[in-house]
Chain A
Amino acid sequence: MSAPTPPTTPGAARLHAAFARAAQQGRAAFIPFMTAGYPTAEGFPAVADALLERADILEVGIPYSAPLGDGPTTQRASEQALGGGTSTRHTLRLVRDLRARHDTPIVIMTYVNPIYAVGPREFMRLAQEAGVDGLILPDLPPDQDLEIADLAAEHGIAVTFLIAPTSTPERVKLVSEACTGFLYAVSVTGVTGAREGSALGEVPAMLALARQYAQVPVAVGFGVNDAQTAQQVARVADGVVVGSAFINAVRNGQDVGALAASIADGCRKS
């Protein structure tokens, strides 16, 4: 990563510290994802606890009813969580409970409509109160809402936007410069989900471009599903995001903690 500028918010500082700690240990930061309220509102905390055993940063998704950027695995998890009564405000309460037990930074992944529906200022207030460190905004290109990043900063929260293999140099520059937490590079054109084969694809070229502009760490996600794919990504990225693999593990009754340990070990740089 290029020399980071001083973090502007407490959330950004905590996220950057997590990346720095992992880097010192010769690892890419391990960033597991879980849909809030999955598999049930009662069962979610135990799953999150298992992930937090090894997570450098935990990403929690607000279940959403029109998740454009998600593949079938996360869609089904969202539907199930919504069916169990976990929506936007409840997600923030679940995060508050996790933060009471863990010091690991937590970022929220949410589509933009829940933020608008709650009201951007009220949403940020609730997120700050819950101890949210950052927001990942998969359907909000930064130039679509010029106020949301400032509002987040005002509440101590960092923001993460996404770049994709299709992004032009101009877009990579614009998006990279807008991120205050970390930059999220999507490894493939497509939606979230575990995939066969290499997770690397066009990532190296994209990262080379991103590092020209990004003042924050760069994490890579989409399609990382085991220790092997994690290691491919860890060699080139500052962080590795893994989502659908954990949802699949929960659904199949597998040991989430063991999978997290295996993938976390895979995040070694060498």
Chain B
Amino acid sequence: MSLTLPTYPQPDGRGRFGRFGGRYVPETLIPALDELERAYAAAKVDPEYLNELDRLLRDFVGRPSGLYLAERLTAHAGGAKIYLKREDQNYTGAHKINNCLAQALLAKRMGKQRVVAETGAGQHGVASATAAALLGLDCVVYMGAEDIRRQELNVFRMKLLGAEVREVTSGTSTLKDATNEAIRDWVTNVRDTFYILGSVVGPHPYPAMVRDFQSVIGEEVKVQHQALEGRPVPDAIVACVGGGSNAIGIFAPFAYLPDGERPRLIGTEAAGEGVDSGRHAASVAGGRVGVLHGAMMYLLNDDEGQIVPPHSISAGLDYPGIGPEHCLYSETGVAEYVPVTDAQAMDALQLCTRLEGIIPALETAHALHHAVELARTMRPDQTIVVNLSGRGDKDVAEVMRLLSLPAAQSSAPGTLHARPEVQA
């Protein structure tokens, strides 16, 4: 790992990736965003900050995470080699910690003693609470009531780590509403509070900053793929996309390669019960351009501008928008975004667990489903890297509940599978 942060193209002077992004926020926050932008610009070239971040990522998180050849999954698909980028190996169990430590260090550097965060699945909340405990900061996490129900154990983890978890009951009581509430807290306490945003969404500079912090994932892939395959660039990269932080983290280091050298970059959106069902969280496939949480992006919203409540089996993908840089990638064809349903994700979760002994997060299972489908269409000398963005321990109770539902009662999420076939 190098002691520099990569320098990918920055958004334009108004904080935009093409026509996406920007700063659609109450004026109260504009000076805070300017302050954050200046502090980040200074930190990213300050060896002291970078050394400390590097040390924590290595010794506290356990980076680099492995790039693991999933031999039995590869054999099952019968095509391209499937590699798993093991972000589930990170301390706290997902990629979220990469960004949280970097932002919490920045908060400390800016003299902000209090941090707030939103969380969906609870992974970002746990990672924020962890970073706050490590650095001695006060931490408040906003979480929707529905997600608190789905992710009880993560709620307790946050409390154990010393964070205060505030239940959000407005709107649909999920990630969108928790994010609104975190922003309201920030608007109110802006002078002494730092907002640790968990994804590549929100007002500028968050989408670019979170991308930079997560790009350690893709930068490691280059080195590891070189060592394993004798070339730095795989043929395809697949990652799940809610707001899109794990995907941008593995895409960005490859997205700005020239045409012809760039791997296929594929984001899997949560299609819930199907894009046509109206019960999904697929912002590219089923949304239209709009503004949410300070940024212009593809968004589930109706023709009067009201947000359409998203649905996904996975709390972490249950978000009505997608980060502005992903929107630009989609519009320019740099990356593709494909829908994967609840049922397909449930099947893929079980497949990966049975074949590889790795229980992936439900979010990640969306990417695994597509990777297996894609591998079938590719040659054995080609490679796919799947961002295994998080471990599934947090989902086990919810998976158990869904699998025990009578088939007639459950419209989508799947059935408990027998041992899958592995082709020779």
Chain A interfacial positions (CB closer than 8 Å to B)? 64-69, 71-72, 75-76, 79, 82, 87-89, 111-118, 138-141, 143-144, 161-168, 171, 175, 186, 189-191
Q: Does B278 contact A (CB under 8 A)?
A: no
A112 to chain B, nearest CB (A): 6
Q: A186 and B290 in contact (CB under 8 A), knowing A66-B176, A79-B170?
A: no
A193 to chain B, nearest CB (A): 10
CA distance A165 to B189 in the complex (A): 12
Q: Does B420 contact A (CB under 8 A)?
A: no
Contact present for B27 and A189 (CB under 8 Å) = no
Q: Which of B83-91, B179-187, B346-354, B364-372 contacts A (4 or more CB under 8 A)?
A: B179-187
B83 to chain A, nearest CB (A): 38
B132 CB contacts on chain A under 8 angstroms: none
1/0 per residue, CB under 8 A from A, across B11-28: the answer is 000100000001111111
Contact among A87, A112, A171 for B31, CB-based, below 8 A: A171
Contact present for A166 and B304 (CB under 8 Å) = no
Q: Does B171 contact A (CB under 8 A)?
A: yes
The bracket for how many chain B residues form the interface is 35 or more
CA distance A164 to B299 in the complex (A): 28
Residue of A whose beta carbon sits closest to that of B288: A117
Which of B24, B180, B188, B305 lies at the interface centre, i.e. has the most chain A CB atoms within 10 A of its CB?
B305
A112 CB contacts on chain B under 8 angstroms: 24, 291
CA distance A138 to B183 in the complex (A): 14
Q: A190 and B188 in contact (CB under 8 A), knowing A162-B27, A164-B27, A164-B28?
A: yes
B26 CB contacts on chain A under 8 angstroms: 68-69, 138-139, 162, 164, 186
Contact present for B306 and A144 (CB under 8 Å) = no
Q: Does B276 contact A (CB under 8 A)?
A: no
A219 to chain B, nearest CB (A): 14
Contact present for B291 and A166 (CB under 8 Å) = no
Residue of A whose beta carbon sits closest to that of B308: A65
Contact present for B25 and A190 (CB under 8 Å) = no
CA distance A140 to B30 in the complex (A): 11
Contact among B22, B187, B291 for A113, CB-based, below 8 A: B291
B29 CB contacts on chain A under 8 angstroms: 166
Contact present for B190 and A163 (CB under 8 Å) = no
Chain B interfacial positions (CB closer than 8 Å to A)? 14, 22-32, 170-171, 176, 180, 183-184, 187-191, 288-294, 299, 301-307
A166 CB contacts on chain B under 8 angstroms: 28-32, 190-191
Q: List 12 additional contacts besides A161-B27, A166-B30; criterion CB under 8 Å.
A: A64-B305, A66-B176, A66-B180, A68-B294, A79-B171, A88-B306, A117-B290, A117-B306, A140-B24, A143-B14, A166-B29, A166-B32
Q: A66 and B292 in contact (CB under 8 A), knowing A163-B27, A166-B31?
A: yes
A189 CB contacts on chain B under 8 angstroms: 28, 187-191
CA distance A144 to B32 in the complex (A): 16
B305 to chain A, nearest CB (A): 3
B189 CB contacts on chain A under 8 angstroms: 189
Contact among A68, A72, A76, A162 for B183, CB-based, below 8 A: A68
12 A-B pairs within 8 Å (CB atoms) are namely A68-B184, A79-B171, A89-B304, A112-B291, A116-B291, A116-B305, A117-B302, A118-B305, A138-B26, A167-B31, A186-B28, A189-B188
Contact present for A87 and B306 (CB under 8 Å) = yes
A111 CB contacts on chain B under 8 angstroms: 291, 305
Contact present for B170 and A186 (CB under 8 Å) = no
Contact present for B25 and A66 (CB under 8 Å) = no
Residue of A whose beta carbon sits closest to that of B307: A65
A239 to chain B, nearest CB (A): 18
A116 CB contacts on chain B under 8 angstroms: 289-291, 305
Contact present for B23 and A65 (CB under 8 Å) = no
B171 CB contacts on chain A under 8 angstroms: 65-66, 79
CA distance A113 to B304 in the complex (A): 8
CA distance A68 to B187 in the complex (A): 9
B290 CB contacts on chain A under 8 angstroms: 113, 116-117
A66 CB contacts on chain B under 8 angstroms: 171, 176, 180, 292-293, 307
Contact present for B24 and A144 (CB under 8 Å) = yes
